[in-house]
Structure 1
């Protein structure tokens, strides 16, 4: 199996879109990611996966904290900014919560301290213990086959 085939197969799994943020010396750093999952309810734990080449890796190691911002369908440009596909910073607004910067108007902001980490292949898996959660109503931004997408609700007749 070649890398492209594996990548295409993983693209068949539709995901939500998140931006992972952390604060270092008063500056907010972020990256778009869809490798995120819930791990445990008691204690509340989540997992993110960061490429060994990503700048965010050293930043999370240094801060010991991160936030997962689950984006709404109106926040595609925010995702593109933190994926390096845009430079329009005007569309991003942060707020502080428990000493962490989170993206305003996200469907959910999940504030974590690093509970543990594990190197797995060319990524580091960070498990975060959830300290706080902010929830809002709305529809999620989705990602499928390498493209942004929106969920549609079928009409029942």
Structure 2
């Protein structure tokens, strides 16, 4: 892709408001996780989601092996977690409250949780799209953390007519 198209594409995508989630998995011994904004529902019957994982991520390697992943849908007060899990390193879970749910790391305080079995990995450019069948789902009250115009924020409903 040429530099102009790359910059223009990045700028356009920055204008798309996206949910912020941390995708997690266990390698049998320790938890792994990464922040994603490319996450969406895919199917209601059966319940399925899709997430986009960087080809070079450690998490992708764990998901390939274990065939499972968790989706922690972050709340507006969790922008610090989003930043921490977006960086590289093995210490992302240091000081972060989490529990095992369905054998997957579940972050404390996240308003949304999904436990998934990996159905398929589809190559797409410098990422893989992980298609997952939902095994468990739970929600708690709270405003979502979103990413728009290269900044974290949240959704505010418009007044009713």
TM-score, normalization by structure 2: 0.89
- 2:137 aligns with one of 123, 133, 138: 133
SS of the aligned residue for 1:38 comes to strand
The reply to whether residue 51 of structure 1 matches residue 54 of structure 2 is: yes
Q: Which residue of 1 aligns with 2:65?
A: 62
Q: Which residue of 2 aligns with 1:72?
A: 75
The gaps in structure 2 that reach 5 residues or longer are none
The reply to whether residue 114 of structure 1 matches residue 118 of structure 2 is: yes
Q: Which residue of 1 aligns with 2:151?
A: 147
4+ runs deviating over 6 angstroms: 85-88
- 1:13 aligns with one of 6, 11, 16: 16
The separation in 1 between residues aligned to 2:46 and 2:93, in whole angstroms, is 38
Across the two proteins, how many residue pairs are aligned to each other? 156
Question: Is the 1:107–1:136 Cα contact (8 Å) retained in structure 2?
Answer: yes
TM-score, normalization by structure 1: 0.91
RMSD: 2.0
Q: Which residue of 1 aligns with 2:100?
A: 96
Q: Which residue of 2 aligns with 1:124?
A: 128
The separation in 2 between residues aligned to 1:153 and 1:127, in whole angstroms, is 30
Cα offset for 1:84? 1.5
The gaps in structure 1 that reach 5 residues or longer are none
Question: Is the 2:31–2:93 Cα contact (8 Å) retained in structure 1?
Answer: no
Cα offset for 1:150? 2.4
